[in-house]
Amino acid sequence: MRFTMQANTGIPVGNYSAEFIGAEEFNNESDYGPAVRLKFRVLDGPQVNSEVSRICSQTLSPKSNLYKFVRMLKGSDMEAGEEVDLQSYVGTRGMIVVEETDSGGTRVGSFLRQL
C-alpha cells in the first residue's frame, strides 16, 4: 500500500497581528452540539490576509472557550443574562496566538485585544 503525506492545514504556529472578521454557525456532526466558527484575518507579515479560525461550542458560560473569546473581543467580563452580538465586534484588532491541533492543523488559541 502507498500513502501520500498531506500538507498541514492552516498557517504556521505563532503570534500574529489580526482583526476579527466575523462569526458563523458551524455544523459539526460530533457530540459537542451546536458550534460557532470565529474568524480572524492576519494583518501583516508573510501570512497577511490569511484567514484563521476557532470553532467553539455555542454555549456561552464562564468556563467556555466562546466566553474566553467574547470577553477579549468585548474588553470586559459579562454578567449573567447579558446578551452579545458578535457582529458588533467585526474590525476589532489585536494579537492572535495560533496553536497546533491534535490533528496537525492549526487554530486560533487566544486573542488579545489591542487597546
Confirm whether 13 is domain-assigned.
no
Confirm whether 30 is domain-assigned.
yes
Q: Which residue from 98, 97, 99, 92 is spatially nearest to 113, judged by alpha carbons?
A: 92
Confirm whether 6 is domain-assigned.
no
Query: Containing domain of residue 54, as a range?
Result: 19-76+84-113
Confirm whether 4 is domain-assigned.
no
**Amino acid 40: pLDDT:** 97
Please answer whether residues 17 and 95 qualify as being in contact, where contact means their C-beta atoms are separated by less than 8 angstroms.
yes
Confirm whether 72 is domain-assigned.
yes
Quote the cell numbers at residue 6.
Answer: 498531506
Confirm whether 68 is domain-assigned.
yes
Q: What is the pTM of this model?
A: 0.87
Strands (E), 66-115: 93-100, 106-113
Q: Taking 70 as the threshold, does the pLDDT of residue 7 lie above it?
A: no
Confirm whether 53 is domain-assigned.
yes
Question: What's the average model confidence in pLDDT over 34-50?
Answer: 94
Instruction: Please tell me the total count of domains within the chain.
Output: 1
